[in-house]
Amino acid sequence: MQFTANEICQLINGTLEGKPNSVVSALAKIEDAQAGDLSFLANPKYEPFLYTTKASVVIVNDTLVLDKAITATLIRVADAYSAFSVLLDKYNTLKLNKTGIEEPSFIHPSAKIGTEVYIGAFAYIGVDAVIGNSTKIYPHTYIGDNTTVGNNCTLFSGVKIYHDCVIGNQVIIHANSVVGSDGFGFAPQKDGSYTKISQIGNVIIENDVEIGANTCIDRATMGSTIIKKGVKLDNLIQVAHNVEIGNNTVIASLSGISGSTKIGENCVIGGQVGIVGHISIAKGTQIQAKSGINRTIVEEGKKWGGMFVTPLTHHLKSLAITNRLPELDKRIFEIEKTINKLKPQSND
């Protein structure tokens, strides 16, 4: 795929300085770019690379003032970072633009398949499943019976979606994630063994959700586990049965959410956070990485951290004190020595 500087300039509504016919065929970081590459400069600390880069075209901010001559063609825009992200999205869309049904794959005769779909080799589409228009299902993906996948979705290789689940539009699920596996439900018996509790609910994933690789979202015991519109889940996250995650919440890698917990909208949860079951997290909550949430949070828009979680400012003060313990111990020792010297000597 090749584009001229002029074509790119028109696409992002920029102003061109240099050679309009400069051709680029790849995207690269400004410090690594070679001839034929398109790059960008948004962070001022990378500005020295602008004068040494071999990139053919560089997107920069309108406000940039050049200190010396450059060889690259410039495209000036209001926000170079945002403009480059638009190009990244278009580049990725072109690169992943697959259509057609590859063989061997299995599509049950009762399944409904939309238009302009891509179904990769060794994919399985179950009984009465529905696949929306322009959705891409990569090789070795499993779609269970009565599951619905909306329009413009991308399910990468190895994704498994169990029966009766509902996936909205513009959903991206990365490789080897599992949606709709059984919730962790077992009833303890008198003899110390456990009897499995059947999980008869499903998972509902609303529009514009992205789920990272190797993430597992359990089906509800009854009812639905719900991932609401705009949620972004990182790799290697566990979402247990009957959990609800509110609109536009983001959760980083290796976090785990126990059953029946409800997380509000616009929350930001760091990596390796553990959340107990049957609690609620208020909207706008921010949780520091490696924190443990063992109670309901009702105050909206607050920051929390620590094990077990406390207001973030308290947690950071505690960390600062902990780091100073060796120094404080030494000071206490010196104070005790001084006090002992000031004590009157006993007369025997």
Q: Which of 95, 112, 145 is the last residue of a domain?
A: 95
Taking the whole predicted model, whether its pTM rises above 0.75 is answered as yes
Residue 299 belongs to domain with CATH number: 2.160.10.10
Q: Which of 66, 95, 124 is the last residue of a domain?
A: 95
- Are both 128 and 54 inside the same structural domain? no
Give residue 50's pLDDT band: very low, low, confident or very high (50, 70, 90).
Answer: very high
Would 138 be classed as within a structural domain?
yes
Could you give the percent of the chain with pLDDT greater than 70?
A: 98
- Are both 167 and 303 inside the same structural domain? yes
Would 339 be classed as within a structural domain?
no
Closest alpha carbon to 131 in 219, 142, 223, 122: 142
The continuous run of DSSP H or E covering 84 comes out as helix 80-95
- Predicted pLDDT at 347: 55
Residue 32 in 3-state DSSP?
Answer: coil
Instruction: Summarize the confidence of residues 48-76 as an average pLDDT.
Output: 95
**Higher pLDDT residue, 92 or 211?**
211
- Are both 105 and 230 inside the same structural domain? yes
- Are both 30 and 171 inside the same structural domain? no
- Are both 91 and 106 inside the same structural domain? no
- Are both 270 and 299 inside the same structural domain? yes
Would 47 be classed as within a structural domain?
yes
- Are both 127 and 251 inside the same structural domain? yes
Q: Which of 61, 95, 129 is the last residue of a domain?
A: 95
The answer to whether residues 39 and 95 touch, using CB atoms and an 8 Å cutoff, is no
Would 321 be classed as within a structural domain?
no
Q: Is 241 tagged catalytic? A: yes
Print the domain residue range for 25: 3-95
Active-site annotation holder among 241, 278, 314, 315: 241
- Are both 189 and 270 inside the same structural domain? yes
- Are both 46 and 122 inside the same structural domain? no
Name the residue type at position 139. Answer: P
Instruction: Summarize the confidence of residues 195-201 as an average pLDDT.
Output: 96
CA–CA distance, 34 with 26 (Å, rounded to integer): 9
- Rounded to the nearest integer, the mean pLDDT of the chain is 94
- Predicted pLDDT at 58: 97
- Are both 68 and 173 inside the same structural domain? no
pLDDT at 301 over 80: yes
Give residue 293's pLDDT band: very low, low, confident or very high (50, 70, 90).
Answer: very high
What is the end-to-end Cα distance of the chain in Å, rounded? Answer: 98
Would 212 be classed as within a structural domain?
yes
Return the biggest CA–CA distance within the chain.
Answer: 105
Residue 11 belongs to domain with CATH number: 3.40.1390.10
The continuous run of DSSP H or E covering 314 comes out as helix 312-323
pLDDT at 21 over 90: yes
Closest alpha carbon to 205 in 136, 149, 152, 255: 149
User: Number of folded domains in the chain?
Assistant: 2
